[in-house]
Amino acid sequence: MDLAGKQLLVGMTGGIACYKVCELVRRLREEGANVTVVMTAAAQQFVTATTMQALSGHPVFTDAWGRSGASVADAMPHIALARQSDAIVIAPASADFIAKTAAGLADDLLSTLVLARSVPLLIAPAMNVEMWRNPATQRNIKQLLADGALLFGPASGAQACGETGLGRMLEPAELLEEIVAFFQPKLLLGRRVLVTAGPTFEAIDPVRGITNLSSGKMGFALARAAREAGAEVTLVAGPTALPTPRGVRRINVRSAQEMADAVLSKVAATDVFVAVAAVADWRVAHVSTTKLKKRPDVPPPALQLAPNPDILASVAALPHPPFCVAFAAETDDVIAHACAKRAAKGVPLLVANRAQDAFGADDSELHLVDARGVTTLPRAAKLVQARRIVAEIAQRLAAENTE
């Protein structure tokens, strides 16, 4: 559970997006957070305090004067609630509440405890597109950011008023991802990370091709973990339907050559290159422009194969290469093949696993191979493993800087 032991205060202001906060609170608790909800009077026009109490498992605070059915030991909820939380999440954050917070106003429980806080403030705006665009709102947002608040969203899309544009509150899953990321150690802050993920597809004809069983899950997990760690992340993804991690720039490619072109166009501005993608070693030398037909008594076409570019070797051979991390999915003699591949590619770190156990799975056992030997990471969820790998990368980068 990514938020185990965290004390979160969720402050709800008025807006139709309050219905999304019901799901957010449920998800926060699933991740181990202890959630206390504070609602403004306007928020209670959309969702009841009874609903939020059932979802959070705690009494809901609605009144600065202790008349809300919830109490704290010292009868000063605006002080006690602000002090006992690890962070305050305002969702939805209305234009009015954003303005009040930017101006330092405190005329109800939620605005008062925000003013009295000594913990981080995380804001998820939700409002009409014109309200969001209004110069006054933009000034207020700039002030909040200058004061140290973090902004999650808004998103663009259809709105309850019938208009379309920026102003929608992020979906619960997106907000959860942002909140989890906020609490992760910023081990790669300021670093630029380039990750490849998924399979490649080498066309035989317009409808067939050579590919593999890579799902892309490990590469996408690494992109997310690097972004959580504070890095600026670019993800070059082969054919996969996986959703892009929050805050990650994604470049979709199909073939190994397209992946190579994308990587080489970005690598000069990269500090860390993580080659997770299962790149096809060969492509069809002569791709048919029409579908190859199966005909009786005619042998199948003989496919002439040509080698694909070695993306990792090309990057590692650059005059000033980034810190390179290789991946190796092997079916047998995993450690021996991994050690040989690391030496052949000339990279400082290689991550190996057993292909038949890892492809498509949500967890895996990994082996880290470097000049010192082999370290095994016991089987765990791929996001957990990705965070471990990010920590290993950060440790090695720090060691390089001290040499």
Catalytically active residues are: 161
User: What is the rounded CA–CA span in Å between residue 93 and residue 85?
Assistant: 18
Cis bond before residue 348 (omega within 30° of 0): no
SS (H, E, C) 101-124: HHHCCCCCHHHHHHHCCCCCEEEE
From the CA atom positions of the chain, what is the Rg in Å? 25
Nearest to 81 by CA among 47, 56, 55, 99: 56
Q: Which two tokens stand for residue 163?
A: 């208009």
61 Rama class: left (phi>0) / alpha (psi -120 to 50) / beta: beta
Q: Are 233 and 394 in contact (CB under 8 A)?
A: no
Q: Are 68 and 108 in contact (CB under 8 A)?
A: no
